[in-house]
Amino acid sequence: MKYRIPIEIKSLFFNIKNDNERGHTATVSSILKQNGSVHEEVAQIETIPENIRASSRVGVINHLTQNSRAEANINKICCFDKISVNGLPVKTDFSFCIYVREETAITNVHCGRKKIHYPPSFAYSDENVNIDNRMVLRAISTMLGNYAFVVEAFEYDCDSGNLNFDAIIVGPREIPYSKVFVNRKGVGSKFTSAFDEDYDDYDTEIIALRQKLGYNNVGPENFRDIMDAQKNEAYKDIVEYLKNRGVTECRNLNQEYPYSIYDFEYNVNGVKHFGIIRHSSTLLKKFVLSSQQLQFISHFSEVASIFLETDSLGRKDIHEYKNSQVIDMRKQIRSLSLDASEVCV
């Protein structure tokens, strides 16, 4: 049996730089029970084995409560020594700890509230256990190429005892917080949508688009909107293409988080795969990738693909390319970032 425990979207992230004046660090906890309402999916943690000896359990509780000024109980301690991320095993000599904390002070307005906690700063060791959440997250970061990532859920496999971190990659290391998250409370998207890719293929696409959509219907003022619409259509076609290969779960991450390095993800035999969408109204198998995307598919060469749809207003032919094929393609430098800050004059 497998449990999936979704956590609050801003509660556990790594390699994201805080560019705010104050606050906005990861909350490292999610609500299990509040105001008498139980979050059933989060509450699944209470059915998962603790996997920790009694003496170590006492030691962990003492460590967690020794400096606490608030009255609280540690109701549950789960220790995980088998770790994976997005379905791939992570090599680490440390265990990861998740615990349940309940507020018990009658004078506390939050009395009775339960949260699951998973702070990166938590570390504890004795002769039986070696917990260090930050070291586990660093090992996960290494697996993910040290990209900035957000953990969406913990997934526990009862048969193997493995804890899988379901993570999305949201940009390069040290990406500013404001480029990832919206700084507001309440419902709605938590991700920033102000940033999006710029299209560098106007010269290639404009003639074919005008021939098929009308010469007066396409121009610089609406080119981006048309290309965005074409990309959404290409995604639908690619999903159908993958369905024909037995893939049933696809997620359009680009709609949720437009600044993601990749556009969508899908699951193959329990392992997360990444897809970058490119499309053209021509028959040419030409596309533009950013340097970040090139680095991304190189690092995730086994699970990342470029999906190119050509003749997007006609036959809609789909071509899939892996990193090994991209390496062999003819290339042209379209832009170059220059830095003169250390140049001697």
With the C-alpha atoms ordered 97, 103, 109, 115, is the resulting torsion angle positive or negative? positive
| pLDDT score at 317 | 96
Predicted confidence (pLDDT) at residue 23 exceeds the cutoff of 70: no
Determine which of 194-198, 234-238, 320-324 has the lowest per-residue pLDDT on average. Answer: 194-198
Predicted confidence (pLDDT) at residue 183 exceeds the cutoff of 50: no
Predicted confidence (pLDDT) at residue 140 exceeds the cutoff of 60: yes
| pLDDT score at 91 | 97
Predicted confidence (pLDDT) at residue 188 exceeds the cutoff of 50: no
Please tell me what DSSP assigns to residue 186: S
Confidence of residue 136 (pLDDT cuts 50, 70, 90): very high
- Per-residue pLDDT, averaged over 153-178, amounts to 93
Q: What is the pLDDT of residues 270-285, one digit of tens each?
A: 999 999 999 999 999 9
Give the Cα separation of 267 and 192 in Å (integer): 25
Q: Could you give the percent of the chain with pLDDT greater than 70?
A: 92
In b/e form, how buried is each residue of 213-233, taking b as 16+ CB within 10 angstroms? eeeeebeeeebeebbeebbee
At residue 252, the 3 state secondary structure works out as coil
Determine which of 164-173, 223-232, 255-264 has the lowest per-residue pLDDT on average. Answer: 255-264
Q: Which of 96-110, 248-262, 286-300 tops mean pLDDT? A: 286-300
| pLDDT score at 54 | 95
Predicted confidence (pLDDT) at residue 207 exceeds the cutoff of 70: yes
Closest by CA to 229, choosing from 217, 243, 241, is: 217
CA angle 322, 325, 329 (to 5 degrees): 135
CA 161 to chain centre: 23
Give the Cα separation of 311 and 316 in Å (integer): 5
Predicted confidence (pLDDT) at residue 186 exceeds the cutoff of 50: no
Residues 82/95, Cβ–Cβ less than 8 Å? no
* Single pTM value for the model: 0.88
Give the Cα separation of 313 and 229 in Å (integer): 11
Closest by CA to 192, choosing from 276, 277, 251, 256, is: 256
CA distances for 36 relative to 21, 40, 112, 142, 208, angstroms: 35, 12, 8, 40, 60
- Average per-residue pLDDT for the chain: 89
Confidence of residue 106 (pLDDT cuts 50, 70, 90): confident
Amino acid identity at 170: V
Q: Compare 27 and 343 and report the one with higher pLDDT.
A: 27
Predicted confidence (pLDDT) at residue 125 exceeds the cutoff of 80: yes
| CA Rg value for the chain | 24
